[in-house]
């Protein structure tokens, strides 16, 4: 009887969790962001194909970048971008590492830098709490992110790590509400999965 009651309890907990996320609009939020991501992704991929075939050879372009700028400076630029609002699309850097020796090792380094940049953003969010004026300004600008992280916690961090939602913004919001850092680190690991999945598409595109 105990195993059956345990299964019922698990089912009831899962049902309650499902009802909560359905009621608070979590599934609608995810689907909305997926739909928003599909069209830009298709346009970016189509644009890259057209540019690569008729305008510029991207392999040559990235090799030119590598010859004229050190890899260390480009990795540093990427880390800075991922730490402060993610201003540069990671896809450009994913395409760049395809032209380097050991592309998958360098891709893993990119993912690690993005993950670490998210941690920097988290602590930026925590530091904001010590400056009342900045805290008030940031809370008004990031009201939606803060509200969502309070409602959905770790699930929003996973979504931010995987989808084209600014991961830095989600991380800052996590710091502002003082979200448990250990849990943040655990859920943030999905950032690595995002880089590997996007690399599969971008690397195959550049191989054609």
Q: Judge whether residue 58 has pLDDT over 70.
A: no
Helix axes 26-54, 143-152, angle to 10 degrees: 120
Coil, strand or helix at 77: helix
| Segment 167-183 mean pLDDT | 90
CA dist 84 and 55 (Å) reads 32
* Predicted confidence (pLDDT) per residue in 83-112, tens digit: 987 788 888 899 889 888 899 999 999 999
How large is the C-alpha radius of gyration of the chain? 20
Determine the pLDDT at residue 104: 93
pTM of the model: 0.77
Domain boundaries, the chain: 2-207
* Predicted confidence (pLDDT) per residue in 106-150, tens digit: 999 999 999 999 999 999 988 887 777 776 777 677 777 788 788
CA dist 128 and 136 (Å) reads 9
Of 64-78, 97-111, 146-160, give the range with the top mean pLDDT.
97-111
Q: Are 161 and 188 in contact (CB under 8 A)?
A: yes
* Predicted confidence (pLDDT) per residue in 7-49, tens digit: 555 557 777 777 877 878 777 877 777 776 677 667 766 766 6
Determine the pLDDT at residue 52: 65
187's CB contacts (< 8 A; 6+ apart) are 154, 155, 157, 158, 161
């Amino acid at each position: 009887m105990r195993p059956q009651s345990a299964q019922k309890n698990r089912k009831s907990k899962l049902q309650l969790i499902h009802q909560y996320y359905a009621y608070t609009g979590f599934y609608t939020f995810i689907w909305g962001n997926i739909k928003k991501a599909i069209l830009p992704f298709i346009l970016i991929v189509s644009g890259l194909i057209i540019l690569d075939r008729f305008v510029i050879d991207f392999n040559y372009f990235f090799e030119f970048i590598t010859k004229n700028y050190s890899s260390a400076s480009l990795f540093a630029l990427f880390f800075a971008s991922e730490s402060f609002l993610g201003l540069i699309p990671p896809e450009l850097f994913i395409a760049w590492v395809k032209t380097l020796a050991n592309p998958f090792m360098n891709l893993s380094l990119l993912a690690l830098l993005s993950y670490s940049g998210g941690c920097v953003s988290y602590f930026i969010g925590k530091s904001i709490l010590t400056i009342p004026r900045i805290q008030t300004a940031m809370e008004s600008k990031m009201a939606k992110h803060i509200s969502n992280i309070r409602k959905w916690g770790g699930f929003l961090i996973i979504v931010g790590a995987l989808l084209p939602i600014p991961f830095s913004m989600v991380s800052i919001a996590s710091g502002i509400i003082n979200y448990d850092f250990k849990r943040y680190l655990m859920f943030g690991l999905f950032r690595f999965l995002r880089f590997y999945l996007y690399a599969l598409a971008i690397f195959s595109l550049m191989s054609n």
